[in-house]
Chain A
Amino acid sequence: MNLRTDQALIAEWIKPGSRVLDLGCGDGTLMAHLQKNLNVTGYGLEIDEENIVQCIQTGVDVIQTDLDKGLSEFKKDTFDYVIMTQTLQAIYYPDKLLTEMTRVGREAIVTFPNMGHWLNRIQLTLAGHMPKSKTLPYEWYNTPNIHLCTLKDFEKLCATKNIKILDRTTVDHEHQSSFGMNLFPNLLGEIAIYRFKQND
Chain B
Amino acid sequence: MQATIPVDTVGLIEPKTAHFSDALALASGSKLQEFDIVYETYGKLNADHSNAILICHALSGNHHVAGYHTPQDKKPGWWDNAIGPNKAIDTNRFFVVSPNNIGGCSGSTGPLTTNPETNKPYGPDFPLVTVKDWVNTQAMLADHLGIDVWAVIIGGSLGGMQCMEWSFAYPNRLKHTFVIAAAPKLSTQNIAFNEVARQAIRSDRNFNDGHYYENDDKPELGLMLARMLGHITYLSDDALDEKFGRELRDGKIKFGYDAEFQVESYLRYQGRSFVDRFDANSYLLLTKVLDYFDPASEADGSLSKAMNPATAEFLVISFSSDWRFSPARSQEIVSALLDANKCVSYIEIQSKQGHDSFLMPIPRYHEVMRTALNRIAEGLNIS
Name A's B-contacting residues (CB within 8 A).
Answer: 43, 49, 52-53, 55-57, 59, 61-64, 73-75
Contacts and interface: CB of A to CB of B under 8 A. Distances in A.
Nearest to A52: B347
Among B339, B347, B348, B349, find the residue whose CB has the most chain A CB atoms closer than 10 A: B347
B345 A61 contact: yes
Q: Dominant SS at the B interface?
A: helix
Interface in B283-326: 313, 315
B339 A75 contact: yes
A155 B347 CA distance: 35
A56 B346 contact: no
B364 interface: yes
A73 B348 CA distance: 16
B371 interface: yes
Contacts of B347: 49, 52, 62, 64
Contacts of B249: none
A63 B339 CA distance: 13
A177 to B, nearest CB: 35
A49 B366 CA distance: 13
A64 B372 CA distance: 15
A178 B45 CA distance: 59
B326 to A, nearest CB: 14
Interface of B: 313, 315, 331, 334-335, 338-339, 343-350, 364, 367-368, 371-372, 374-375
A56 B368 contact: yes
Given A49-B364, A75-B339, A56 B345 contact: yes
A7 B258 CA distance: 67
A57 B374 contact: yes
B346 A63 contact: yes
A175 to B, nearest CB: 29
A55 B345 contact: yes
B374 A73 contact: no
B346 A64 contact: yes
B334 A59 contact: no
A9 to B, nearest CB: 27
A200 to B, nearest CB: 25
Nearest to A75: B339
A63 B334 CA distance: 8
Contacts of A62: 345-347
Given A56-B368, A56-B372, A74 B338 contact: yes
Contact of B375 (A43, A57, A64): A57
Nearest to B314: A61
The 10 closest A-B CB pairs, nearest first, are A73-B335, A63-B346, A64-B347, A56-B371, A57-B371, A62-B345, A52-B347, A61-B345, A56-B372, A53-B371
A64 B350 CA distance: 12
A123 B315 CA distance: 47
A79 B57 CA distance: 37
A21 B148 CA distance: 34
A52 B338 CA distance: 17
A63 B371 contact: no
A73 B338 contact: yes
Given A49-B364, A56-B345, A56-B375, 8 more contacts: A43-B344, A49-B347, A49-B349, A53-B367, A57-B374, A61-B343, A62-B347, A63-B345
B330 to A, nearest CB: 10
A67 B344 CA distance: 18
A53 B345 contact: no
B143 to A, nearest CB: 31
A73 B337 CA distance: 10
